[in-house]
Each structure stands twice: as structure tokens, then as C-alpha cells.
Structure 1
Amino acid sequence: MTAPIPLLQARGLEAGYGASEVLLGIDLSIEAGQVVTLLGRNGMGKSTTLKTLIGDLTPRQGSIHFGGTPIHGLRPDAIARLGMAVVPEGRQCFPNLTVHEHLVAFADQRNGQRDSWTASRIYQLFPRLKERAQNLGNQLSGGEQQMLAIGRALSTNPRLLILDEATEGLAPVIREEIWQCLAQLRAAGQTILVVDKYVDRLLRLADRHFILERGRVVWQGSSAALDGDRSLWKTYLGV
């Protein structure tokens, strides 16, 4: 039987900034419907990997295919139109747009697919956003902005949702809401790539994990394998 083509596949990615080499041959693959994480200490290449995948940084070597289409070298807007959406670190909500405007300004129904993420469905996922629908982006709490950043990304009905430190700096009760949201998205079949530091929660959420160390993938495997080898946590994650 022929193996399915991964939704996202990166091979031999090398990238950096100026004379600095950060990624030294990253291999990464994500199957449709999977939740996958990028793990590692700060400065090991996680953010650079994400920037390269979404087109903010052009790889110096290697290839990236999304849905079978080569995307290395494409602009970020072209990659986004193919169905990749990112929830950026720091949320980056627009201060002069209301919550509702965030959820309709970037909407893409992707050819009328069933169970599309409309504004009304996003309000069901995050009732707090419905209560704040007419508030501007800069009138929201940090947790509300994070919900809005996720909702804005979902409004594009992405084939792949990327979350960069989605729970960073949030109060525990709000962080729990975000984890519950991600669990619901997984149950709905949404393909997700996550960068986050809360390994215990990621074990319950993700199918596979990739650990980066100095710009290379040094380990990859299932949640069960990562849970069963806590020496990996100490060696590569500082946990």
C-alpha cells in the first residue's frame, strides 16, 4: 500500500539571518488530521523553522511541500492562500478593528466546505468573543486577544493551523480554556502544528513531537514514547 502524501513535508531545511546559520538540515512532516509539536529550549531554531514554513524567511537549502505543492520561496500571502494560517507569538491583534471585524475581514470559506469556521461558529467556540464583538483589539485582555488570534486564524478555514506559544503569559484559567479549544479542534480533525513549553499538556494533545537542538531534529516520536523517556525532557527541554 502506498503511504499517504504528508500535508506538510520539509526536507533538509537550512536557513538563517545574515551570516548566521540557524537551521542545519531540518526534516519535518505532518499528516492531515495530526497534531504535531516543535519542542526545544529557547534559541534552538523553533521560531526560525516556523518563519521558514510560512514564508517569512526563505530557505537557503532544502524543500517544503504543502499539499504536494512546493512552497519554498513563495511569499507569505501566497502560502496563506493555499491554506496555512498562523497564530503568532504576541497575538498581533489590530487595535483599530473590532472583534467581529477581525473574524470577517480575513474569512475564506475554501470553496464552501462543510463545517466552515464562520464568525458565529467561532463565537460558539469562544463565547467571550461574542460578548466583546464590538470591542476594538486593544480593548481586550491578553487572554481575549489570544482567543481572537486563534479565531482570526480559524476564520480562514486553514488546512494547517500553526500556533506559536499560544499559552505564553496567560493566567492558568485562560490557559486551560486554550487547551480545551485545541482539544476540540483536534477532535474536529484540524491539522495543527504547535510550539509551546507545557510538555505535560502537549502529551495529551499531540500525535507526534519533534525536538530541536542547535538547528537540527535530534528526536521525533509519539506522545507515548516521549512520556516514557523523561531523560529527553532533562537533556533537551530543561524540564
Structure 2
Amino acid sequence: MKHEALLSCSGLQAGYGASQVLFGLDFEIRPGEVIGLLGRNGMGKSTTIKSIVGTLAPSRGDIRFLGKSIAGMRPDAIARMGVAIVPEGRHCFPNLSVREHLVAFADNRNDQRDGWTLERIYALFPRLKERADNLGNQLSGGEQQMLAIGRALSTNPRLLILDEATEGLAPVIRDEIWRCLAQLKAEGQTTLVVDKYVDRLVGLADRHLILERGRVVWSGPSSELAADRSLWHRYMGV
């Protein structure tokens, strides 16, 4: 039996002023799926994410989450429905401690019986427990990325979005982030991932969408993307 989509975009158009970026995106994310959103820089990935989380209102089309239209809704209202983002650049608060980050936004937006508590987040990222009293601006880049993921998980989201979560990190830290994402997948966390490390993403995601100039030019399962390296070269320059 086919599951209903958790999130769906239909005819999605968006841009900035007179500059149109998205030209009618159609896709859906089903519960429990991990979806990779791929493409070169400037092809519409960030604009798609901004449209979903509400920081950019679409000019046309619709975005539905839990069966309800969220196109043009305020970001805080979308977040309360259960959408959490780990933004590019992390955006940790410099004057909040690690622990304050993880308790200030805590919620159970997915109605989970065994949700992401402070203790579970510390178990996922032991380094955060060691640095619990340190402020956001006292952390390394890798620690800030762990904190950004932990902060998103503390809301127990229905949909987790990661925008370049491994960008600029040392290889050992990247490996830890990928380990974390694999664990989240095993626990059934619905996730949308933007990342340039396609070789790692095909080992994690169920399906992928490739954007080219604001349009979906390819979509399919990881097995097909892994088998056709010409897609990597043509659309991602890998």
C-alpha cells in the first residue's frame, strides 16, 4: 500500500524580485524516506528549502505538509507543525550554552513516545555533553554542526532538513555526521538532505531529485543514481 506523502510540492515557482529561480517543481516525500536534493550551485536547492520552511513565499504552486497547504505560511508556524532545518552555516547562538541550545527549543512535534531528549542527544554526540557549558561561539566548526543537528532533533521533527550539513568539516567529523544520519534513518526519521558528497549520499538516501536551472531533471532511487555516473558529471560536476 502506498503511503500518503508527508510533504508534497506541486507546480512550485519561486524567486527573488524579478529573478525567477524555480520553474514548477513537482515532488513528494513520504514518511520515513531519506531524500537527496542534488544539483550544482545556483540551480535552486536553497530556494526550494527556503520555500518549504517559509523564509521565501512561493510565487505560484503549492506546498502541502500533513495534507495542509503551507505555501506562504510563517516560518514559526511551519516549524511548529514539525519541520526542522539544520541550516547552511549552522547559525548557533553565540551567547547561549550548548545545553541552553538543546533545551530552549525542545518539543515533541512528532508525538514520539521515545523522543529525542537531552540525554539521547548527548548519547548521539558525546562531545556536546563534554562542552555543555560552553557558549556557541566557543565551539569548533564540527561541534557547532553537531549542535545544530542536536538543536533540530530536540524538537522531534516530522521532517528534518539538512542544508550542506558536512560542508567545510574535517573528514573525521564528516564521518561522524554521516554515522548520525544513518542512525536517524534506521529510526525512521524522514529527512531531506542537500550535500555535495554524492558518493556518501547514495549510500544513505532512498531516492534523489536532481535540479537543473530550477527544474527537476532527474529523480529516482539510489541504486539507479549509483549505477549511472554520467548523471553525476552532467548535473553535479562530480
TM-score bucket of the superposed structures, by smaller chain: over 0.9
Q: CA deviation at 1:95?
A: 0.3
- Give, in whole Å, the separation in 1 of the partners of 2:64 and 2:52: 9
With over 3 angstroms needed to count, the CA separation of the structure-2 counterparts of 1:27 and 1:111, relative to structure 1, is closer
- Give, in whole Å, the separation in 2 of the partners of 1:53 and 1:61: 13
* Paired position in structure 1 for 2:173: 174
- Give, in whole Å, the separation in 2 of the partners of 1:21 and 1:205: 31
Q: Provide TM-score, normalisation by structure 2.
A: 0.98
- Give, in whole Å, the separation in 2 of the partners of 1:214 and 1:191: 26
- Give, in whole Å, the separation in 1 of the partners of 2:156 and 2:172: 27
- Give, in whole Å, the separation in 2 of the partners of 1:110 and 1:222: 29
Identity %: 74
1:1-239 counterparts in 2 under 5 A? 3-110=2-109, 113-239=112-238
- Give, in whole Å, the separation in 2 of the partners of 1:103 and 1:8: 26
Provide the secondary structure at the position in 1 that maps to 2:156. coil
Q: How many residues align?
A: 238
Q: Which amino acid aligns with 1:99?
A: V
Equivalent pair of 2:82/2:110 in contact (CA under 8 Å) = no
How well do the aligned residues superpose, as a CA RMSD in angstroms?
0.9
Cα offsets for 1:122-157 (capped at 9, x unmatched): 000000000000000000000000000000000000
Q: Which amino acid aligns with 1:95?
A: P
With over 3 angstroms needed to count, the CA separation of the structure-2 counterparts of 1:155 and 1:98, relative to structure 1, is same
Q: Which amino acid aligns with 1:213?
A: E
Q: CA deviation at 1:217?
A: 0.1
Cα offsets for 1:39-82 (capped at 9, x unmatched): 00000000000000100000011000101111111000000000
Q: Provide TM-score, normalisation by structure 1.
A: 0.98
- Give, in whole Å, the separation in 1 of the partners of 2:139 and 2:163: 20
- Give, in whole Å, the separation in 2 of the partners of 1:190 and 1:86: 13
Equivalent pair of 2:38/2:196 in contact (CA under 8 Å) = yes
Q: CA deviation at 1:111?
A: 7.5
Gaps of 5+ in 1: none
Cα offsets for 1:155-201 (capped at 9, x unmatched): 00000000000000000000000000000000010000000000010
- Give, in whole Å, the separation in 2 of the partners of 1:152 and 1:181: 14
Q: CA deviation at 1:112?
A: 5.4
Gaps of 5+ in 2: none
Equivalent pair of 2:43/2:214 in contact (CA under 8 Å) = yes
- Give, in whole Å, the separation in 2 of the partners of 1:119 and 1:165: 24
- Give, in whole Å, the separation in 2 of the partners of 1:24 and 1:63: 12
Q: Which amino acid aligns with 2:57?
A: T
